[in-house]
Amino acid sequence: MRHLLPESSKPALLAENIRDDGGNTINVYDHFGIREDGLRTLLGNLDGITCTAQCASRASYIDTPPPPWDDFADVLVPINDDFSLSGRMGFAKRDGKIIDTDCIVILPGLFGDNGVKRTWDIAAFLKDSGYHVLALEVRAHGQTEARHPEVYHTWGVLESDDLMHVSDWLEAMPKVKRTGLIGYCWGANIAMMSGWYDAAGRESPQFAPRIREELTAIHDRPRYTAGIILFSPILGWERLRDELETPRGALSDPVYNAIQETIRARMVRKGYENPSGSLKDLIEHEFRNCGVPLPNGTADAYAIVRFLPYKNELFYDKLSEVRTPMLFVHGANDPLSPAQEVADLVSTTDNPNVATVILPGGGHVGFAAYAKEYYFNLVANFFDPTNGPSPVPVRTSTLINTPLINTTLINEAGTPVIEASPPPSKNDSSTSDSPAHHASAATACRRQ
Average pLDDT of the chain? 87
Q: What is the pLDDT of residue 445?
A: 58
pLDDT band at 234 (very low <50, low <70, confident <90, very high): very high
pLDDT band at 446 (very low <50, low <70, confident <90, very high): low
Distance CA 138, CA 124 (A): 20
Q: What is the pLDDT of residue 148?
A: 98
Neighbours of 74 (CB within 10 A): 14
Q: What is the pLDDT of residue 89?
A: 98
Q: What is the percentage of the chain residues whose pLDDT exceeds 90?
A: 73
Any idea which of 36-40, 281-285, 309-313, 423-427 has the lowest mean pLDDT? Answer: 423-427
What's the CATH class of domain 2-236+316-445?
alpha beta
Classify strands 101-107 and 93-94 as parallel, antiparallel or unpaired: unpaired
Does residue 437 have a pLDDT over 50? Answer: no
The domain segmentation of the chain, as residue ranges, is 2-236+316-445
- Dump pLDDT digits (tens) for 36-77: 999 999 999 999 999 999 988 778 999 999 999 999 999 999
- Dump pLDDT digits (tens) for 372-415: 999 999 999 999 999 999 888 886 543 322 333 233 333 333 33
Any idea which of 13-27, 83-97, 308-322, 429-443 has the lowest mean pLDDT? Answer: 429-443
- Dump pLDDT digits (tens) for 243-298: 999 999 999 999 999 999 999 999 999 999 999 999 999 999 999 999 888 888 88
- Overall size of the chain counted in residues: 448
Any idea which of 74-78, 312-316, 347-351 has the lowest mean pLDDT? Answer: 312-316
Q: What is the pLDDT of residue 7?
A: 79
CB burial class (10 A; 0-12, 13-18, 19+) of residue 414? middle
104 contacts 133 by C-beta, under 8 angstroms: yes
Beta strands in 70-212 (DSSP E): 73-80, 83-90, 93-94, 97-98, 101-107, 132-137, 176-184
